[in-house]
Amino acid sequence: MMSLSPSLGSPYPWLRELKSEERGLYLIHLLLTCTNHVASGNLENANMALEQISHLASPDGDTMQRIAAYFTEALADRILKAWPGLHKALNSTRLVMVSEEIMVRKLFFELFPFLKVAFVLTNQVIMEAMEGEKMVHIIDLNAAEPAQWIALLQVLSARPEGPPHLRITGVHQQKEILDQMAHKLIEEAEKLDIPFQFNPVVSKLENLDFDKLRVKTGEALAISSILQLHSLLTSDDEAMRRRTPLLTKCSNGSHLQRAVPMNQSSLGDLLEKDNRYSPSPDSASSSPASSIASMNMEGFLNALWGLSPKVMVVTEQDSNHNGSTLMERLLEALYSYAALFDCLESTVSRTSMERLKVEKMLFGEEIKNIVACEGAERKERHEKLDKWLQRLDLAGFGNVPLSYYGMLQARRLLQSYGCEGYKMREENGCVAICWQDRSLFSVSAWRPRK
């Protein structure tokens, strides 16, 4: 903690005397200052800001302290990317354990109502669309949480006309997760005596081979996309950058300069306002082979349209974390994650390990991605609902307003959660799930327009 020369005593005695509110305000100020420095390439100043923050921020303090901790880590990560060797070295021994990832996802599902509400709404839309259908095929673009489909199975088995023959195609990057899902769902279907089939597709979304989905013409198809579509915007960014030779040139140039980092002006170039640089030379952008296979948003949506689903339900984060400049993104992210951290503060104790894990391994990573990464690396490109409405409309989808029943169920679920901060509101037939006034997630239903 004491990075200064040992001859100094505690450098900021007055810092400790700050009350929580003042400290919070100070932290905000410091964060923004630091971001400014980073954005303008002012490493030394950024460093000092980080230093100051380090005395105040803490992952197990109050909300603002926690947020500051993760944001500064992200900012530091961003700065460090200018030294790719250093950056890689520091990250070389990182362990990525699938079990941890699964656990964190489960925690997100349990500690927050967002996923549950999304599931309830999605399932209700599917139920309504599939009334009277005898064969139902569902494509889950992020097959990680069996609870959603277990609930659907239970409701389907109680249908007056009896359950349909259900086929679920689950897409996910990790085979283990798909195996687990298959196991749980098949078990449930057997219990309920529903003819059921689970087809796993191990793939990233951007490389998804639509043939593997095995959609039969004319079958009753439903698509569920929960917090997945935004990562496809990455490829859009890539495509745009490749089209602009100037920027590419710039990025190449700075690549060379990166090897000699100590010149401040070069740093300034690197961390330039355009913020369109490739952080590491071997990112996907510079290797054409991988980018050919990856689809961009338009292509993906068109492909989905081409499957002729009866209905598609899209759940996305409802915040603009895809701004072109660092400062824009950081400001938005501050607000969104402040709301998310507040949720936890209001519902979970500060000493809870689960809370810490969610904050660090889920939110912390998202923040890092939003703040520190650019180009192909930056996957967390959340956007606001109106952008999604436009995009889906452009791709030939018409909005299907969520039914009163669906919203009623979702509202009841939120209410049963027992925390008054969670709210839900309807906008243009879509649902926005909020914490106090801040909209965090949106759910909307679509069907291909004729």
Rounded to the nearest whole angstrom, what is the least distance from the CB of residue 6 to another protein in the complex? 11
Angle between helices 43-56 and 63-80 (to 10 degrees): 150
Looking at 25, 240, 259, 293, which residue binds another protein (CB under 8 A)?
25
Binding-site residue total for another protein (CB under 8 A)? 100
120 binds another protein (CB under 8 A): yes
Tell me whether residue 52 or residue 285 sits nearer to another protein (CB atom).
Answer: 52
Interface of this chain with another protein, residues 137 to 176, rule: CB under 8 A: 147, 150-151, 154-155, 158-161
Rounded to the nearest whole angstrom, what is the least distance from the CB of residue 247 to another protein in the complex? 14
Query: Of 133, 129, 169, 179, whose CA–CA distance to 149 is shortest?
Result: 169
Dihedral (Cα; 317, 322, 328, 331), 10-degree rounding = 20
Tell me whether residue 119 or residue 446 sits nearer to another protein (CB atom).
Answer: 119
415 binds another protein (CB under 8 A): yes
Rounded to the nearest whole angstrom, what is the least distance from the CB of residue 85 to another protein in the complex? 18
Q: Which two tokens stand for residue 14?
A: 């007055």
356 binds another protein (CB under 8 A): no
Dihedral (Cα; 66, 71, 76, 80), 10-degree rounding = 130
62 binds another protein (CB under 8 A): yes
CA atoms of 391 and 440, how far apart (whole Å) = 19
Looking at 91, 325, 390, 428, which residue binds another protein (CB under 8 A)?
325
20 binds another protein (CB under 8 A): yes
133 binds another protein (CB under 8 A): no
Q: Which two tokens stand for residue 57?
A: 């921020």
CA atoms of 181 and 143, how far apart (whole Å) = 7
Looking at 306, 335, 394, 428, which residue binds another protein (CB under 8 A)?
335
Binding segment toward another protein, per CB under 8 A, in 6-14, 88-96, 163-171, 218-226: 6-14
Rounded to the nearest whole angstrom, what is the least distance from the CB of residue 43 to another protein in the complex? 10
Binding segment toward another protein, per CB under 8 A, in 134-142, 297-305, 364-372, 434-442: 434-442
Looking at 346, 360, 362, 399, which residue binds another protein (CB under 8 A)?
346
CA atoms of 206 and 291, how far apart (whole Å) = 9
Tell me whether residue 236 or residue 272 sits nearer to another protein (CB atom).
Answer: 272
Rounded to the nearest whole angstrom, what is the least distance from the CB of residue 110 to another protein in the complex? 4
The binding track of 255-294 with respect to another protein, each residue x by CB under 8 A or -, is: ---------x---x---xxxx-------------------
342 binds another protein (CB under 8 A): yes
Rounded to the nearest whole angstrom, what is the least distance from the CB of residue 105 to another protein in the complex? 13
Cα dihedral across residues 400, 406, 408, 410: positive or negative: negative
CA atoms of 171 and 389, how far apart (whole Å) = 24
Interface of this chain with another protein, residues 206 to 245, rule: CB under 8 A: none
428 binds another protein (CB under 8 A): no
83 binds another protein (CB under 8 A): no
413 binds another protein (CB under 8 A): yes
Binding segment toward another protein, per CB under 8 A, in 3-11, 210-218, 247-255, 286-294: 3-11
180 binds another protein (CB under 8 A): no
